[in-house]
Amino acid sequence: MPAFAPRLTPLFGRLALAAIAATLTAAPTLASEAPGQALAAKAGIPWPAVIAHRGASFDAPEETLPAFILARELGADYLELDLQRTQDGVLIALHDDNLQRTTNIDEVFPARAHDPVSSFSLAELKQLDAGSWFNKAYPGRARDRYAGLKILTLEEVMDIAEGGANKPGLYIETKVPEQFPGIEADLKEVLQRRGWLRERPAAAPGQVNVAHMPGRVVLQTFDKSSLRLLHKEMPQVPKVLLLWVGEGSIKPKSAVPFKDSGFKDKASYYAAQEVSSKAEFEAWIDWAKANGAIGTGPSSRLANGGDQSYMDLVKPWMNELTHAKGLIVHPYTVDEAVDFKSISAAGADGFFTNRTAELLKFYQRPARQDIDSLLKSNGY
């Protein structure tokens, strides 16, 4: 299997292999027999994987309709979402556990502006504007039609995944699961009812076909208890333990908090954080494997910093060790070619990315249409 073979339907894949092989000589330099490739194949997960982090969230408001539609249309393998639950028991896709950053909660429910997501009903959440913040934060990428976008339910994200010619998979994180007892069982109920826990029909030739693969759903969490519960509920579904250095995660070499560290920005502080020892890192990998994970999602330090630049948990020795234990490596959250290249060389088996189109370009399977025309043709 060539290193950069796209996820095509089997017939098209066979017919296209010769043509694809001819282009591979120009591919970015990655190990031709990467150790994670066989492990990903065993789990039924595409390799290397393009995981659209909160959808195509560089170009549209995170975890909203245009973000997920754009990711699907560009050709992402997976739509990534953060799972929470409303006060009336509906599973939704939202990252933060309060509504301050990505909605107009201050205007709609001023007295409850700092309350947790879990205290709002779905009807209340649907009154919020989850798009205008993006236009203010990123005027260069703003679009009039982003104003008034709604928070989505898990089932609405499933509708998007199912609704185009490309059939991406779902990469679902249980977010702050301690706030949502039983959310793992709730997730199983929805996945089962919607047919995502059994084989799904193949996509048409030439389209993304991940929803047809055994790894059509990947479950992810930072939380050990939640990983255990996910494995108990859905032992057959691939699971990934997200890695971090600090409280509740891998023990740091130095426990000096940011406020006392002297660093001016979080990215520089995170960059200086290291695991306390190789044995500590190895213990986390062993624990992940023993509790049902088929991979890890480590943080990455990005060449140009930024608010998603974290600890470097993708050093070559870490990825080698993880592969040697039989687990794949999906680092978060990487958007630029300089990082795709260096972290791939260090052993990544795909990436969480806000910039699906950039990662697809790096993997030499560029989108057929540009972002602007895809957004316009979908009404944005």
Nearer to Ca ion, 173 or 312 (CB): 173
Minimum gap (Å) between residue 96 Cβ and Ca ion: 11
Nearer to Ca ion, 73 or 173 (CB): 173
Distance CA 274, CA 280 (A): 11
Q: Is 223 in the site for Ca ion (CB under 5 A)?
A: no
User: Annotated catalytic residue: which of 53, 212, 323, 330?
Assistant: 53
Q: Are strands 295-297 and 328-329 parallel, antiparallel or unpaired?
A: parallel
Nearer to ligand G3P, 47 or 222 (CB): 222
242 binds, among ligand G3P, Ca ion, none (CB under 5 to 8 A by kind): ligand G3P
- Is residue 212 part of the annotated active site? The answer reads no
Two structure tokens written together for 305: 């910093």
Minimum gap (Å) between residue 96 Cβ and ligand G3P: 9
Nearer to ligand G3P, 149 or 242 (CB): 242
Minimum gap (Å) between residue 82 Cβ and ligand G3P: 5
Nearer to ligand G3P, 37 or 296 (CB): 296
SS (H, E, C) the chain: CCCCCCCCCHHHHHHHHHHHHHHHHHCCCCCCCCHHHHHHHHHCCCCCEEEECCCCCCCCCCCCHHHHHHHHHHCCCEEEEEEEECCCCCEEECCCCECCCCCCHHHHCHHHCCCEHHHCCHHHHCCCCCCHHHHHHCHHHCCHHHCCCCCEEHHHHHHHHHCCCCCCEEEEEECCHHHCCCHHHHHHHHHHHCCCCCCCCCCCCCCCCHHHCCCCEEEEECCHHHHHHHHHHCCCCCEEEECCECCCCECECCCCCHHHHCCCCHHHHHHHCCECCHHHHHHHHHHHHHCCCCEEECECCCCCCCCCCCCCCCCHHHHHHHHHCCCEECCECCCCHHHHHHHHHCCCCEEEECCHHHHHHHCCCCCCCCHHHHHHHCCC
Nearer to Ca ion, 94 or 234 (CB): 94
Minimum gap (Å) between residue 328 Cβ and ligand G3P: 14
Residues engaged in binding ligand G3P (CB under 6 A): 53, 82, 95, 173, 220, 242, 297, 332-333, 352
- Is residue 330 part of the annotated active site? The answer reads no
Minimum gap (Å) between residue 137 Cβ and Ca ion: 19
Q: Which residues 165-204 are close enough to bind Ca ion by CB under 5 A?
A: 173
Distance CA 346, CA 349 (A): 10
Q: Which stretch binds Ca ion (CB under 5 A): 76-84, 185-193, 319-327, 356-364?
A: 76-84
Minimum gap (Å) between residue 223 Cβ and ligand G3P: 12
352 binds, among Ca ion, ligand G3P, none (CB under 5 to 8 A by kind): ligand G3P
Nearest to 76 by CA among 202, 170, 151: 170
8 binds, among ligand G3P, Ca ion, none (CB under 5 to 8 A by kind): none
**Residues 77-116: x/- map of binding to Ca ion (CB under 5 A)?**
-----x----------------------------------
Tokens 């509708």, residue located: 159
Distance CA 189, CA 184 (A): 9
Nearer to Ca ion, 82 or 233 (CB): 82
Distance CA 46, CA 12 (A): 16
Count other C-beta atoms under 10 Å from residue 113's C-beta: 15
339 binds, among Ca ion, ligand G3P, none (CB under 5 to 8 A by kind): none
**Residues 132-171: x/- map of binding to Ca ion (CB under 5 A)?**
----------------------------------------
Minimum gap (Å) between residue 29 Cβ and Ca ion: 29
**Residues noted as catalytic:** 53, 95
- Which residues form the interface with Ca ion (CB under 5 A)? 82, 173
